[in-house]
A = this chain, B = another copy of it.
Amino acid sequence: VTSAVPLQYRQIFLRQRPDGIPQAEHFGIRTVPTPELGEGQFLVRVHYLSVDPAMRGWLSAAGNYFTPVPIGGVMSSFASGEVMLSRHEGYPVGARLMGMFGWQEYAVCDGSEVKRRIQDADEPLSLSLGILGLNGLTAYFGLMDVGRPIAGDTVVVSTAAGAVGSAVGQIARIQGCRVIGIAGGPEKVRWCKDIGYDFAIDYKQGDLGSRLSALCPDGVNVYFDNTSGEISDAVLPLLAVGARVAVCGTASVSSWSPWPMGPRVARHLLVKRARMQGFLCMDYEARYNEGIIALKSWIKRGRLKHREDILDGLERAPGSIADLYRGDNAGKRLIRLVA
């Protein structure tokens, strides 16, 4: 099996720290020699790279939940692949793994990067980066643990057609909720309806507040938000008494310097006795298995659909975060390195 290991491989590094959304020109590509493995190390051949909105934050020097990627460092990324060479008992050749392997064709690992071992041989490696990875788990724990939907609730989801949002909407339907999606453009609205949203609104058509208000005569019980900004500003005045707002992301805010202003939320939370709560999927690591079991069973029964939007080749990675913020993708954006 060692025959497949090349003498060198390519990686994407951070050339310049972006102020706002990372663009292709903030990154460079370089070829490095494949190093000798030390004791306890193993070499992963990366099959798929994940492109996630949160990656913008991983590059930001501003307050965040990660130390930012250093200038010259390999861009951090969730990725999935297979062990090609190993000097680590726990990760033998052939093991299929999902972890923080970075934007590179091969990764020298010691195990600290690994997030999940893909035991099921039938499970495609791409799924571990989407519906059976951080996206599905973010949807599952954010909705179930923070949003706490109750059958009959009206649940509103922003970025409703996205990799996380589309799973949130479907899981909320499975819980017996009435689900309204907010998405940008007719194609995304159509996909929302295809996967079972009761209603889907194209926010680009304008007048979101009054259209949403007409669909929520009894208010919004759960709001799963990936946007912050103007979309949230339209939803928060419609909260029902006892509402829960799960803060999953802030995709609509292009920069936090200077800090953006918006309508104050305290009064909505007070009058509606509502809860607004941020969460990170990583904080649920001890419960990932619970989420994976639930997600797999829903996929198997045809109740949870997903889409992948795959680009081929490492050279597509640098521009892919900006693509995501433009909403160019239809489904989970992945970069495939192994055909």
Contacts and interface: CB of A to CB of B under 8 A. Distances in A.
Given A259-B264, A262-B261, A278 B270 contact: yes
A273 B278 CA distance: 4
A20 to B, nearest CB: 14
A283 interface: yes
Closest 8 CB pairs of A and B: A269-B278, A270-B278, A228-B266, A275-B277, A262-B264, A261-B261, A276-B276, A259-B263
Contacts of A228: 264, 266-267
Given A63-B237, A63-B271, 14 more contacts: A225-B266, A228-B264, A232-B266, A250-B264, A250-B266, A253-B264, A261-B263, A262-B262, A266-B278, A269-B277, A272-B278, A273-B277, A273-B279, A276-B277
Contacts of A272: 278
Nearest to A63: B271
A271 B278 contact: yes
Nearest to A269: B278
Interface in A208-262: 225, 228-229, 232, 237, 247-250, 253, 256, 259-262
Contacts of A268: 278
Contacts of A283: 273
Contact of A277 (B229, B253, B256, B274): B274
A8 to B, nearest CB: 38
Nearest to A267: B250
A280 B225 CA distance: 25
28 contacts: A63-B237, A63-B271, A228-B267, A229-B264, A250-B266, A250-B270, A253-B266, A256-B267, A259-B263, A259-B264, A261-B261, A262-B262, A265-B265, A265-B276, A266-B276, A266-B278, A269-B278, A270-B278, A270-B279, A270-B280, A271-B278, A273-B278, A273-B280, A273-B283, A275-B275, A276-B276, A276-B277, A277-B277
